[in-house]
Structure 1
Amino acid sequence: MGAALSDHPFSVLVVEDMDAVRAALVAELRQAGVADVLEAPEGARALHLFKTRRPDLVLLDIKLPGKDGYWVAQQMREAEPGDWTPIIFLSGLDSDLDVWRGIEVGGDDYLVKPVKPIVLMAKLRAMRRLLDMRRRLVSVSAELHQANQRLNEMVEIDALTGLVNRRGFDRILHNEILAARRDGTPLTLMLCDLDHFKRYNDASGHVQGDACLKEVGRVLREVCVRPRDVASRYGGEEFALILPHTPRSGAMTFARALGQLLKVRALAHADSPLGSTLTLSGGITTCVPDDSTNAESMIMRADQALYAAKAQGRNRFFSFEMQMDTVEQLHG
């Protein structure tokens, strides 16, 4: 009989104020193969042991000096959010036992004293089974949670470039706006477009075009050196960069570094009117978000700046705010 209960270490807390009754229960539990038996003669000691030692099962007398067993059970339940420890009430006589009250405060079962060894063994076995099932469920739930997280990450990755995709971009930009608004820090968004990429695909074919997009993805990852910088594939040949804690001056430095890196890579673009290598145009917006800032307004500003960069002859970056400053100066 004992072997079935000692497959895993199992601890039981016995809360009983009568020494002789408690000693008898402890002896029965040891006989049943319970290695770790904790004892408490009243509620305060029981709660202390419950919180510090976290037993697998509690045998709890209803009649205790001071606060009764129902109160102790309620305190135990409040001390273990999200967990579950089986609590079995011990009652001297059937008339002492208020089953409904026991259930309401979080009890799971009851035994009438004097407890017959065979009945105690049966209850122990049942509670062990319930506990093992619960542990398995908890571990399966944790595995499911991890799998879901991995799935979400996969759903937010662009298969071709390995960068964050549009869905991931939308979520991250929204979160970074909230964070920058809360912290009062500047946030930069950069939209980039590969110059004359339709001509690239027409001249070299889509397989070569895909290889080129992959290479651009690598360049963007290299330039995003800080942990929260995010490079994403926004659309076909459009990319977006989310740069937290980046003021205007930092954004322009970043843009120059990106342009320089692409120049050094010298990815061939035979049919470009701008030269023999691939170039890109970029629109930048930087702000310390306030209550009126949202993802749509930031994208719109970056898009306007990108349009201006293209209108000025491509292969350059434009800042929406600096452009606005220039307009203000012209009219000032």
Structure 2
Amino acid sequence: MSLHYQAAPLTILVVDDQNATRVALAADLDRAGHRVLEADSADWGLQLFERYRPDLVLLDVEMPDKDGYWAARAMRSAEPGGWTPIIFLSQRSQDADVWKGIEAGGDDYLIKPVTPMILHAKLRAMQRLSHMRQRLVAVSEELRQANAQLHELSQVDPLTGLMNRRGLDGRLQQEIAAARRSGQPLTLMLCDVDHFKRYNDALGHVEGDQCLRHVARQLKDLCRRPADCAARYGGEEFALLLPNTPRSGAMTYARALLRTLAQGQLKHPDSPIAGHITLSGGITTCVPDETTTPEGLLMRADDALYNAKAYGRNRFFSYEMQMDTDEQRQALRGDR
């Protein structure tokens, strides 16, 4: 008796050294609408399993040379992370035989001769289990993607689209470790918008937000290498993390940023420094060693930022070079 049901057809691998049994099973499964693969040995069954990845395996236990238990273990080893239902077929009916089959990687154990009704009932059950597992895998992947998106969003500043303070802390830790391994210099720059409160008071917070977005774009445009990173440190403060950048290169970055802001001419109606938006910044550069910490670099860059403000703002100060961008520009002019 063959049973037809609405579930999708399966690709079923039948492994049995007895031709009559194998042919009869294949014919019954074929009438039920399934695609059938046949093997008369454990080795051949394993090859078909690896080649076609069937939906289900009907596996005889007693076969010459290598038995069904060996075949089941080999099939399980060939599908890391996956799952293909395996049903053992055997004339052995002792509890120990069933236990041995399950331990070898089987999912069910049927005693020969198997009636078509029992066989198709088992196929339906395995099909349901397979569908449930596929759904669980799909849901797990959806959750993984959702968690990844949430993690990414938790590290992005919603106003500017730059990395936020939390993201910067993690990235700084990674770059310190990478620079320590490679022996390359690492530069951290902290900067903030000069007299930003006056800007907000003069033009309002909506325009203030637009100003911060404008500065963020300039910083992001300055990050031309994949490893360069711009972040919003908090309020009107920003950070640039520049791996493999020496002290002179950091000064070049800073001068380019100030020049870009001056050329952009985003007007500041109440600035005592210039008619446009300006930045003050602190720079620290080092080749990290075992004593280098994110907190230490941030503190040093913040101290340098304080010095830039003390020297008149609209400039970047470097502790390591003991000069600011204005002094460097004058020195370069003197060289000419």
TM-score, length-scaled by structure 1: 0.89
**How far apart in 1 are the matches of 2:63 and 2:185?**
62
Instruction: Give 1:294 shift.
Output: 2.5
Aligned to 1:71: 70
Instruction: Give 1:232 shift.
Output: 1.0
Aligned to 2:295: 296
Instruction: Give 1:3 shift.
Output: 5.0
**How far apart in 1 are the matches of 2:301 and 2:124?**
66
1:312 partner letter = Y
Aligned to 1:29: 29
Aligned to 2:6: 4
**How far apart in 1 are the matches of 2:190 and 2:276?**
20
Instruction: Give 1:38 shift.
Output: 1.9
Map 1:312-331 to 2 at 5 A: 312-323=311-322
**How far apart in 1 are the matches of 2:281 and 2:98?**
72
CA displacement 1:219-239 (0-9 Å, x = unmatched): 222222223322111011100
**How far apart in 1 are the matches of 2:117 and 2:220?**
67
CA displacement 1:130-171 (0-9 Å, x = unmatched): 111211221222122112222222222212112111111112
**How far apart in 2 are the matches of 1:178 and 1:64?**
57
Instruction: Give 1:262 shift.
Output: 0.7
**How far apart in 2 are the matches of 1:257 and 1:162?**
22
| Structure 1 stretches of 4+ moved >6 Å | none
Deviates more, 1:234-243 or 1:310-319: 310-319
The count of aligned residue pairs is 321
Task: Answer whether contact 1:180 1:289 (CA < 8 A) is retained.
Answer: yes
Map 1:1-332 to 2 at 5 A: 1-2=3-4, 4-5=6-7, 7=8, 10-35=10-35, 37-95=36-94, 98-323=97-322
**How far apart in 1 are the matches of 2:224 and 2:164?**
19
**How far apart in 2 are the matches of 1:160 and 1:100?**
61
Instruction: Give 1:250 shift.
Output: 2.4
Alignment gaps of 5+ in structure 1: 325-332
Aligned to 1:327: none
Cα 1:99/1:185, change in 2 over 3 Å:
farther
2:271 partner letter = S
1:188 partner letter = T
- Secondary structure of the 1:321 match is coil
Cα 1:172/1:70, change in 2 over 3 Å:
same
Cα 1:54/1:185, change in 2 over 3 Å:
farther
Instruction: Give 1:117 shift.
Output: 1.1
CA displacement 1:200-233 (0-9 Å, x = unmatched): 2233332322221121112222222223322111
Deviates more, 1:91-100 or 1:142-151: 91-100
1:26 partner letter = A
Cα 1:160/1:133, change in 2 over 3 Å:
same
**How far apart in 1 are the matches of 2:12 and 2:131?**
15
**How far apart in 2 are the matches of 1:252 and 1:3?**
74
Alignment gaps of 5+ in structure 2: 324-336
**How far apart in 2 are the matches of 1:321 and 1:15?**
74
Percentage identity across aligned positions?
63
**How far apart in 1 are the matches of 2:231 and 2:214?**
13
**How far apart in 2 are the matches of 1:2 and 1:138?**
28
Instruction: Give 1:101 shift.
Output: 2.3
**How far apart in 1 are the matches of 2:279 and 2:265?**
12
Task: Answer whether contact 1:91 1:97 (CA < 8 A) is retained.
Answer: no
Task: Answer whether contact 1:267 1:278 (CA < 8 A) is retained.
Answer: yes
Task: Answer whether contact 1:3 1:33 (CA < 8 A) is retained.
Answer: no
CA displacement 1:230-281 (0-9 Å, x = unmatched): 2111011100112223232322221111111111111212222212111111
Instruction: Give 1:122 shift.
Output: 0.8
TM-score, length-scaled by structure 2: 0.88
**How far apart in 2 are the matches of 1:62 and 1:288?**
65
- Secondary structure of the 1:170 match is helix
- Secondary structure of the 1:257 match is helix
